[in-house]
Each structure stands twice: as C-alpha cells, then as structure tokens.
Amino acid sequence: MALTLESAARLLDRHGLLREIIHGDVWTVDASDIDNADKPFSAITYDTRKVEPGALLCCKGRFKAEYLKDVDEHGLAAYVAENDFSATTQAPGLIVDDVRKAMSLLSAEFYDRPQDRLKVIGITGTKGKTTTAYLTQAMLNGCSGGKCALFSSVDNCLDGHTYVESDLTTPESMDAFRMMREAVDNGMEHLVMEVSSQAYKVDRVYGLTFDVAAFLNISPDHISPIEHPTFEDYFHCKRQIVKNCRSLVLGADCARADLIRQDARHAGVAVSTFALDGASPADVVAKPADTEHSRFSIAIDGTTIGELSLTLDGDFNYANAAAAVAIARAAGFDFGSSQARKALHDMEPVRIAGRMEHFKDTRSDTIAIVDYAHNYASVTALLDYVDQRYGSKNPEITLITGSTGNKAYDRRSEIVKAAQDRVDHLVLTFEDTDDEPVEQVCEDMRNNVTNPQLDVKIILDRTEAVESTVGADRNDSQRPHIILIIGKGNERWFKDHGKHIPYEGDDRIVERVFNLQ
C-alpha cells in the first residue's frame, strides 16, 4: 500500500507520535485538511541532497532549518520533524515527538513492510555477533537453498551470495527497510542481522519484531559520554531485543542470564539455550571431539547430530556455531532432516575477513594473527585460544593494538588488563581516534600498565608498527613468536577527524612483509 501524507499521519497518530500537521497557517491533526494528502510519496529520505519531486524528508539528528534551503525547488512533498520548519519550506510538516521512531515506522510502510515477507533473525551480544551472523547465514542458506540475506558490521548481502562492505553494525532504519525490500525482491526468505546496543539507543530497529533473537553474552563495553554512560544503560539497551522478538536463543553461560530470562517471561517469549563443552546445561551444546580441539560435536537435547571442523579457529567460534544451530532450530528447521544436517557442514568453510586470520612466515617460526578483538572479553578469548593452541611451545607473544578515540574509554584499561600478564610485548598504535590525539589514547593505555616486566612501545604510525614488528629478525630466537594484531580486522581505512583515511590493512601488510602475496 502506497504511503501518503494521510496514511503517514494515521500511522504516527496510532503510535502516539503525531503532535500536529503544519502547512503554512493551517495547524491540524486531520490530514484531509491538506491538499493532495492522498497522493503517494515518490521517495523517502533523510538526506536533503536526495530530495526529489514528491519525496518525504525525515529531519533526524541535529537538523537545522538552513539545511532546507532550495528544498522546495527540488519538489519536497512533506517533511517529518520534531520542530516546525514552515518558515523555511512550503511543504507540510508532520510534527512528531520522536523523529527517529517516526522514521523507522514510516520507512517500513513506504517499502511495503518487507519484514513481513522475511523470517528476521537478530543477534546481539558483546562479542561474537559477526561470526555468529555469518555462520547462521551459511546454515540457513544451506537449509533454504541460498535464500538468506545478511546485515553485519563487515558486509551486507541481499541475494544470498553477493557481499558489499557495510558502514554500520546495524543500518539506519530507513536503509534497513530499503535493503529488506531489495532482499525480498531478490527472493530471500530469511534475514540475519547484527543488532547493536546503539540500534536500540537511537531507535534504528524501532517497531521491528524479530522472529528469532539471539543474546550471546554481555560484558562492559561502549561506555562513554557519547555511547552509554554506564554498563547498566548498555545492558538495558541490549535487553530491548528480548521483548521485541517471538523466540529467544540465549547463551547458557551469559552473565546476568537470570535477568534476561525474567525479561523473556514477562514478554511471553520462549527461550532455548546453547553452550560450549557442556559447562552449563543447554539445549544445543558444542563439545571437543579430539584433544587438539580441531573438531567439535554438536548435540541437540543430548543427541549428537554431527561433527564440525571450522575454518575459523578458536573454541569460542564453536560456541558461535552452537548458537547458529540453536537459531536455525528456533527458526523452524528440523535437524532430524537430512537437509538440515547437511546444512550443518555449510558452516565449516566460512571465513570472515579480519577475524582470526592466520599468517605463517616462510622464513622463521613466526605466526601473525589478525583479529577484530577490541575489548576485554574478546582479547581474553583470543589469548585463551593462543594458550590452548600454542601454550605448550612457550611462545613469545606480541600484541599490537590501539583503541578508539572520543568513546569507549573503558576499552583502554580493559585491553591492557586482559593482556598485560599474558604477553611479552605490547605495541600501542593508531586506531580510529577521530579527533582525539592518538598520542593521548596511547598514553592513556600505557598509564594503565601495572606489570613492570611488560615491554611497552608506542609507535604512532600503524603501518610502521605492524611492519617493524612482523618484519623483525628472529632467526636467533629459541621460542616461536606469535604476533597478535587487533582492533582493525580487514578495514581499509581509519576514521580521523570525521573522515575515512585510506589504510593498507593489517592483513595486507602482514602478507607483504611475509612475502605471501
């Protein structure tokens, strides 16, 4: 059904968001008082540069009247805003209490509610969202014949097989519904998407009910004045997914799981669980099938359905695989069927650029691992993996890391806390510092080091930091060397002073220095 000024006003009023409609001297709550109120909008946008004849504009964020200069000449049909801009534009304004909530509802309607044609799966948690999303998509593609779309912090995929780099973990609501529409038009039946705490903080998924939601884990992260002021606020935003889903998959070992279960009971949402190695009772369990932890068995309700050998290293990735199986089961796939059991193995070859990527130097006993680990939980998991896989060889370990500027201040101390007693060398370097001086970020991290035995260096230029560490001559070393390069993954840019600055990439620098290209 086409979206018009009249139907938009009714929708916003039904959700308690509409204050009034202003058109010149006319102030009303009845859209029929406005000429052409039943004319369909030709487009919907939140970018004034993309206004076309017949478009509806959502004035979100710190919107200023000056942004509307010349907008009438481009044919603006109406705008949605929290303020009256009738002195600047002749277009009628839908004045609302919350423009972000309004934008989400209106975008869904403009694109003819594509979520109703998809089984939508949302995945949240402090760590593991991206990997679980990719593994889940691989499994659902196997179960459905390649009809699963993906929204992730790395890529978006709208046709089951073509991946395009994404900008946000969870897209803006308008972009999300537009992409859902494209996915439906491409024949997709499922959508797997990462859901960040910010998605609920700024209403990117307002009004969206997930058929299945997964809550993987929780630990402090994203604590800063511009993100979440406290852990309670961060956790509260994450928990909103519980009352906005029809079925919940929960990590059995998740911190504060009792509170999440209470949320589910209050919302009348069924809960199923997953776990690693049977540490806690769970519906789906991944357990090592050999002493090297290279294969894991997957059991549902105590019955083994198969074994996996993932390309992605680390026990924590088998926990993510167990989560993917639990999600597919909650989505309705019967693992008693041969197709679903076969789909289990579609997870095995999954690779995610910048996640647990291993590089072996051909000239020395040195291994570099590039990963996106960027907080206490993920750095701890990475070091646990190194200890489990290489600990018997007593390796020399170097960690190359930075931290984000202007936000997530807790990460600076938490990364150091997780690493300082478990690595031999710590190299602090550039990350996405935005407009905070990189020197200040690195000094903040160094000031959190309390282990006097730790060798700490600051090398501000990240390319130099990676090159000099990876390329160091270690032919005389009696110990194998493990170099962990974290925080950027496969990203080809830095965010610096509001701009994206090209960067070769941690993985490509390692390949170049190791002569692997």
Whether residues 245 and 312 fall in one domain: yes
Task: Give the tens place of pLDDT for each residue, 18-60.
Answer: 999 999 999 999 999 999 999 999 999 999 999 999 999 999 9
Whether 498 is in a domain gets the answer: yes
Whether residues 405 and 492 fall in one domain: yes
Task: Give the tens place of pLDDT for each residue, 362-399.
Answer: 888 899 999 999 999 999 999 999 999 999 999 999 99
Among candidates 413, 382, 394, 323, which has minimal Cα distance to 138?
323
**Whole-angstrom Cα distance, residue 182 to residue 259?**
37
DSSP collapsed to 3 states, 204-232? CCCCCCECEEEECCCCCCCECCCCECCHH
Whether residues 118 and 88 fall in one domain: no
- Domain containing residue 467: CATH number: 3.90.190.20
Whether 416 is in a domain gets the answer: yes
**Under 8 Å between Cβ of 328 and 140:** yes
**Whole-angstrom Cα distance, residue 316 to residue 252?**
14
Whether 199 is in a domain gets the answer: yes
Average per-residue pLDDT in the chain?
A: 94
Positions of E strands within 384-506: 396-401, 425-428, 455-458, 481-486, 493-496, 499-502
Q: Is 333 exposed, middle or buried (0-12, 13-18, 19+ CB in 10 A)?
A: buried
Q: How long a stretch of residues is the chain?
A: 517
* Per-residue model confidence (pLDDT) at position 24: 92
End residue of a domain, out of 76, 110, 144:
110
Whether residues 11 and 75 fall in one domain: yes
Whether 83 is in a domain gets the answer: yes
* Per-residue model confidence (pLDDT) at position 474: 66
Whether residues 146 and 81 fall in one domain: no
- Domain containing residue 217: CATH number: 3.40.1190.10
Whether residues 203 and 313 fall in one domain: yes
Among candidates 190, 162, 140, which has minimal Cα distance to 342?
140
Whether 407 is in a domain gets the answer: yes
Task: Give the tens place of pLDDT for each residue, 433-491.
Answer: 888 999 999 999 999 999 999 999 999 999 999 999 999 876 666 789 999 999 999 89
Domain count, the chain: 3
Whether residues 125 and 106 fall in one domain: no
- Domain containing residue 82: CATH number: 3.40.1390.10
Whether 171 is in a domain gets the answer: yes
Task: Give the tens place of pLDDT for each residue, 277-329.
Answer: 877 899 999 999 999 899 999 999 999 999 999 999 999 999 999 999 999 99
Average pLDDT over residues 354-360: 93
Sign of CA dihedral 86, 91, 93, 98: negative
Average pLDDT over residues 186-190: 98
* Per-residue model confidence (pLDDT) at position 106: 98
In terms of DSSP bridges, do strands 155-157 and 163-165 run parallel, antiparallel, or are they unpaired?
Answer: antiparallel
CB half-sphere exposure, 8, CA atoms < 13 A: 39
Whether 353 has a pLDDT exceeding 90, the answer reads no
Average pLDDT over residues 91-106: 98
Whether 80 has a pLDDT exceeding 90, the answer reads yes
* Per-residue model confidence (pLDDT) at position 389: 92
Task: Give the tens place of pLDDT for each residue, 408-440.
Answer: 888 999 999 999 999 999 999 999 888 899 999
* Per-residue model confidence (pLDDT) at position 475: 63
Whether 352 is in a domain gets the answer: no
Whether 320 is in a domain gets the answer: yes
* Per-residue model confidence (pLDDT) at position 52: 97
Q: How confident is the model at residue 222 (pLDDT cuts 50, 70, 90)?
A: confident
Whether 180 has a pLDDT exceeding 90, the answer reads yes
Phi, psi of 134 (to 5 degrees): -65, -45
Whether residues 343 and 235 fall in one domain: yes
Please spell the DSSP secondary structure of 49-105, one letter per residue: GG--TTEEEE--SS--GGGGTTTGGGT--EEEESS--TTT-SS-EEEES-HHHHHHH
Site of tokens 């290293």 = 313
Task: Give the tens place of pLDDT for each residue, 321-349.
Answer: 999 999 999 999 999 888 888 899 999 99
Whether residues 326 and 235 fall in one domain: yes
Whether residues 498 and 438 fall in one domain: yes
**Under 8 Å between Cβ of 287 and 299:** yes
Task: Give the tens place of pLDDT for each residue, 109-132.
Answer: 999 999 999 999 999 999 999 999
**Paired tokens of 330:** 């909650």
Whether 188 has a pLDDT exceeding 90, the answer reads yes
Average pLDDT over residues 245-268: 97
Whether residues 390 and 496 fall in one domain: yes
- pTM confidence score: 0.91
Average pLDDT over residues 145-166: 95
End residue of a domain, out of 110, 131, 165:
110
End residue of a domain, out of 58, 86, 110:
110
| Domain region containing 38 | 5-110
Percent helix, strand, coil in the chain, to 5, is 35, 25, 40
**Under 8 Å between Cβ of 495 and 434:** yes
Average pLDDT over residues 242-257: 97
Whether residues 95 and 121 fall in one domain: no
